[in-house]
Amino acid sequence: MQLLKQGAEADIYVTEWHGKKAVSKVRSPKAYRHEALDSAVRRQRTVHEAHLMSAAKAAGVSTPFVHFVDPDNAEILMEFVQGKQAKDALDVKMCMQIGRYAALLHGANIIHGDLTTSNFIVNNRLVLLDFGLSYYSERMEDMAVDVRLIKEVFTSAHVGLRGAFPAFVRGYGSVAGKKKTSQILANVKEIEQRGRYARVE
Ligand SMILES: Nc1ncnc2c1ncn2[C@@H]1O[C@H](COP(=O)(O)OP(=O)(O)O)[C@@H](O)[C@H]1O
Ligand SMILES: [Mg+2]
């Protein structure tokens, strides 16, 4: 197996599955955690992440196909998605599609938790990765945290791309409807204002 990326929590390897290129996401043991607790935590997070990948797919969001989950080894074996990270190929149309995806997730009460342009791969379609921080919630405030993060990414990593966030909002609105979208945007504003006050203090 070839190491593709070493993360804080998991390592990504490129491997094969029945002759096809595949990705193995393995949560590595953490020495600072008690051994039995550590293996329970890794097991639980692995199962949780794989479950949310499938739930997202059921909600209409394109995610890598999961070949198998091995809770004992904290491993998810999934389809290798060929393509660039959205962060290196972002355009306005893609921002709109990201908005649609976010609204589909939120419609299923799934909060992605790390909605950045690094976690999307583009080929013909847009594929959303990394459900390691995802969870279920019905709260608009939690949905707004997803929206606020991608907005922040658009205005920091993609300053040159004009109209990115408005396009996201159009995509989001086309799925979630006007009422929910404006409620969530109001929540985003509130979070941003809170951040501003916190900085002044
Ligand atoms: N199924 C996949 N196909 C292709 N590349 C992947 C796949 N899964 C992960 N990657 C690559 O590995 C990187 C890290 O994976 P990710 O699941 O986001 O882990 P982390 O939690 O460390 O951010 C991604 O940004 C992507 O470039
Ligand atoms: Mg990631």
pLDDT at 7 over 70: yes
Residue 148 has which token pair? 């606020």
Q: Report how far residue 119's alpha carbon sits from residue 184's, in angstroms, rounded to the nearest whole number.
A: 22
Structure pTM?
A: 0.94
Q: Report how far residue 96's alpha carbon sits from residue 75's, in angstroms, rounded to the nearest whole number.
A: 32
Q: Report how far residue 74's alpha carbon sits from residue 31's, in angstroms, rounded to the nearest whole number.
A: 15
| Ligand 1 site-directed mutation target among 1, 2, 5, 6, most atoms within 8 Å of CB | 5
> 70 catalytic, yes or no?
no
Atom 22 in ligand 1: residue holding the nearest Cα: 7
Which one of 38, 91, 114, 142 is the catalytic residue? 114
Angle at 112 between CA 146 and CA 108, to 5 degrees: 100
Q: Which residues pair with 4 in a beta bridge?
A: none
Encode pLDDT of 50-87 as tens digits: 999 999 999 999 999 999 999 999 999 999 999 999 99
As a 3-state breakdown, the chain gives helix, strand, coil percent values, each rounded to 5, of: 50, 20, 25
Supply the mean pLDDT for the chain: 95
Q: Using a 6 Å cutoff on CB, does residue 116 contact ligand 1?
A: no
Ligand nearest to the CA of 78: 1
Q: Using a 6 Å cutoff on CB, does residue 23 contact ligand 1?
A: yes
Q: Report how far residue 162's alpha carbon sits from residue 56's, in angstroms, rounded to the nearest whole number.
A: 29
Rounded to the nearest whole angstrom, what is the distance from the C-alpha of residue 129 to the centroid of ligand 2? 7
| Domains delineated in the chain | 2-79 (3.30.200.20), 84-200 (1.10.510.10)
pLDDT at 199 over 70: no
% of the chain at pLDDT higher than 90: 90
Rounded to the nearest whole angstrom, what is the distance from the C-alpha of residue 128 to the centroid of ligand 2? 10
